[in-house]
Amino acid sequence: MLERGGLPYFEDLAIRRSNLLYNMGDNSNGFYRFFVSDPDFRSRMNVVFTIRDGIGKNETLVQKFLDETSELGWLDVRSHPLGIPSDAIRITMYNPQTIETITQVRDFMHDFQKRHE
């Protein structure tokens, strides 16, 4: 970690990775809904969200999202329930996770939204 730039490098990487997903969701016209809306309290390691309200047909979309991402081989996408019928979607971005992988996640989210709006 020190060879890559130490704490400043990894803090910047965490901010860039999480901002890719938060910006995507914040600009999705409510398709993706974060459980933490205040940017000052959002995690840089785990981005947790649902599709719209996560209920009824949206619960089905959450499951479809989880099924499709499972086929892509990403780790730690499913989360525990957060007071809604469906599981929440959690994208985990610990230090070994590359910006390229999170870019693929963001691109998938954009494509998924286009297919299901």
- Domains present along the chain, CATH in parentheses: 6-110 (3.90.1150.10)
The whole-model pTM stands at 0.88
The per-residue pLDDT for 31 is 98
Tokens describing residue 58 = 């949206």
- Nearest alpha carbon to residue 101 among 17, 29, 33: 17
Tens-place pLDDT, residues 67-106: 898 877 766 677 766 667 777 898 988 888 889 999 999 9
Tokens describing residue 108 = 């998938």
In sequence order, the 6+-apart residues with CB closer than 8 A to the CB of 42 are 18, 22, 34, 36
d(CA 78, CA 62) in angstroms, rounded, equals 10
d(CA 13, CA 68) in angstroms, rounded, equals 26
